[in-house]
Structure 1
Amino acid sequence: MSENVQGTFVSEKISKIRWKHEDFEDATNFITGSWDDPVNKVTHWTFQMNDDGESYPAVVSSYAILGDVTEIKFILKDFFVISTSIGTVRLLQIHENPYSQFKEHMSWEFIHKFDNTNDYASCTGLSTFEQDIVSVGEDGRINLLTAGQKQPVRSINDADSCSMYCIDFLRHNEILTGNLRGHMKVWDLRNDQDLPATTFMLSDQSKTEATSIAHHPTQRHIVVAGGGDGSLTVWDLRHNTYPMSQLNAHAKAVSEILFHPDRPENLFTCSASGELWHWNNTQHSKLSLDPTNTHWLNTIGTNGKVNVTSLCSAMHKPINSIDIDRSTLLFGCDNEAIYVVRNITV
């Protein structure tokens, strides 16, 4: 393993990992969520120095959660929402005294459930836009929430006939969902009819589920989606819903896709095959004189000029989650460890 990669055994499978971003400073704190334990945890971490002068992750506090943690998203500097496999979404705050437990501000209990049996359904995806929150689940339901209101603002109960796995806010009134069958649906939340504005397929080559979605930080119409077969697909949603690029990427399902927030010519992906890749398009973008050039659209592909680098040796377990702050990337794995990758060239 690269000398830039540091692993820490944490005795729990990590489903999600997220930096707590600081104002104009390198982040030093992060949050993880676990899965596959009878009682799971959301844990607050910071970095401490050991006797050898090395920085390593140390637990600040933890919070018990029923069900698996399926997503973590910050909505403000100290406020974040989590979703769980028992269909619940919670709004938590990092306490002013960091060594105190998180403060729970809101809980939307069992907002995903199967109507025919009334059993809970997993909340499989979560996205945020400022203080608005939208969730999807195995029940095919979409819930629109807001941080200051106990009841959902809106629920689209029959949004899909099968499980939805991922969701992304494209803009304040528009979301994109992906489901078990690979159907991608754009929803206009201003429309009071519970019907998608547009439906298209993740892949025209093979039938596979959509497992992850990410939009370009400054050009939100550029969307990259990952499939259960390890594929990556790129769209420019301004023009049409036919993919601009499709390629076979990872050996197994894409767990997460992440654009670098400040240098979006850098894309990061991880997968259930234990792979962590850095897609760097810096050289191509520097050659472009057009600041709106959507270079990701035509260079992610078999003939593209994107440099793809593996950031660590392949794990023997799935890598479930990634997050980056400047040149430091975090990732969580099913081998019950968290990893820090430092000095990434972006």
Structure 2
Amino acid sequence: MAANVCGNFVSKKINKVRWKPTPDRHISGSDTFITGSWDDPENELALWHYPSSDDQDADLVKLASLPHVGDVTEIKFINTEFFVCSSSFGSVKLNRLVNAGMKSSWSIIEDISWNKLHYFDSAGPGEHCPCTALASFDEDIVTVGEDGRMVLLTAHRKNPVRIMDGADSCSLHCVCFLKYNQVITGNLRGQLKVWDLGVQSHQKPISTFMLSGEQIQATCISQHPTQRHVVLVGGEDGSLTAWDLRQSRFPVTLLSAHPDAVNEVKFHPVQPEHLFTCSASGELWHWNTAALSAAATPGAHLNLGGMGTTQEDDGGGWLGGEASKHRLEVFSLIPALHKPINSLDVDRDSLVCGCDNEAVYLLSNIPI
């Protein structure tokens, strides 16, 4: 069964999109999501409702919106009510979704604003340093920026818990929690660094390794939901690398994936043998490590080139090196667009993605 695709024009370039969590995601999926825009004089956060997963002609309903200063560079839900978002002006906001009792009566309220977390020391008046990414673990939040600074926040406090000035000598562009006291960051030069946030005495990473042999920017990082030692990293050159953090000197698997930068990598939260990527080349791909036949799953089968080391694979199909390539099936979910797809999120058999063509695409009945 092919996925149903519904495209809706939203009049904003969408940089981030996230499903609103439901109280029990194992029982029912979400039909509500948040978008954040960019490259507009007046950016906004918007809450949307998708009326029907069976009607391809159904229009999105905007439930609420909130003006946002600067580009929205990341959105993460902390729980079903609160979410954090970061700005190209160097700030981070904790926002709350409030419902007045009726399904269509929603509002977005700012609870905490952490302003100017990221800045250039030599910047003149009016200059801003973007907060490029953030990650959350329960109510802890880590932000990174073009200033190489890393900041630890908590949703309970107005003041930062910890500021790591000069954590990196160049721009940091992605961050991911590995566990409650560890994060991994990726920078402009393709360096990946693992940090122990519990060590207060120094500001040095506990390990550092290169994305590839060249200085290729790391654009996004995602951790396997069940095999916690496995992380996948997208690169500015369109590459996708799999790492075993137990021995992280070299990537275990390196794939030549998209022809342009990988903008987001997402494992399915409960079926991690399914992975989804989107790219600046306008592509949206579904990766399947369960070796399903092409006849059982619709889409165009893509041939990938790659290299890696052969070893026993306990990483859900990603740590087999050369052997893992033969277990991967990759399918295009929608025809390639002429504009970058900046962000995606997946919940049960539904996927939402946002694009620079000022449209949001919803896919339902994804074959997983």
TM-score (norm 1): 0.93
- SS of the aligned residue for 2:237 comes to coil
8 Å CA contact 2:76, 2:135 repeated in 1:
yes
8 Å CA contact 2:313, 2:319 repeated in 1:
no
Matched, 1:250 2:272: no
- Matched residue, 1:46: 49
Structure 2: distance between partners of 1:53 and 1:279: 24
Structure 1: distance between partners of 2:246 and 2:272: 19
- SS of the aligned residue for 1:196 comes to coil
Structure 2: distance between partners of 1:217 and 1:105: 30
CA shift, 1:64, in A, is 0.2
- Which residue, out of 179, 183, 186, partners 2:191? 183
Structure 2: distance between partners of 1:234 and 1:53: 35
**Gap runs ≥5 in structure 2:** 293-311
Identical aligned residues as a percent: 50
- Matched residue, 1:260: 268
CA shift, 1:220, in A, is 1.8
CA shift, 1:101, in A, is 2.4
- Matched residue, 2:365: 343
- Matched residue, 1:13: 13
- SS of the aligned residue for 1:48 comes to coil
Relative to structure 1, the CA distance from residue 272 to residue 291 in structure 2 (aligned partners, 3 Å threshold; closer, same or farther) is closer
Relative to structure 1, the CA distance from residue 164 to residue 103 in structure 2 (aligned partners, 3 Å threshold; closer, same or farther) is same
CA shift, 1:156, in A, is 0.5
8 Å CA contact 2:289, 2:316 repeated in 1:
no
- Which residue, out of 122, 131, 146, partners 2:130? 122
1:74-128 CA-to-partner distances (Å, cap 9, x unmatched) read 0011110000100010000110226342121111001010012264210001100
- Matched residue, 1:59: 62
CA shift, 1:341, in A, is 1.0
Number of residue equivalences: 338
- SS of the aligned residue for 1:296 comes to coil
**Gap runs ≥5 in structure 1:** 285-289
Relative to structure 1, the CA distance from residue 21 to residue 344 in structure 2 (aligned partners, 3 Å threshold; closer, same or farther) is same
- Which residue, out of 192, 205, 211, partners 1:202? 211
Map residues 15-164 of structure 1 onto 2, 5 A cutoff: 15-22=15-22, 23=24, 24-48=27-51, 54-97=57-100, 99-117=105-123, 119-164=127-172
Counterpart code for 1:116: S
1:238-297 CA-to-partner distances (Å, cap 9, x unmatched) read 23332100111000000000000000000110000001110001238xxxxx99554211
User: For the aligned residues, what is the CA RMSD?
Assistant: 2.0
Counterpart code for 2:333: L
- Which residue, out of 213, 223, 226, partners 2:231? 223
Structure 1: distance between partners of 2:94 and 2:331: 36
- Matched residue, 2:329: 307
Structure 2: distance between partners of 1:272 and 1:263: 26
8 Å CA contact 1:71, 1:124 repeated in 2:
yes
Structure 2: distance between partners of 1:301 and 1:122: 40
TM-score (norm 2): 0.88
Relative to structure 1, the CA distance from residue 3 to residue 196 in structure 2 (aligned partners, 3 Å threshold; closer, same or farther) is closer
8 Å CA contact 1:247, 1:302 repeated in 2:
no
CA shift, 1:34, in A, is 0.3
Structure 2: distance between partners of 1:252 and 1:301: 25
- SS of the aligned residue for 2:14 comes to strand
Structure 1: distance between partners of 2:148 and 2:323: 32
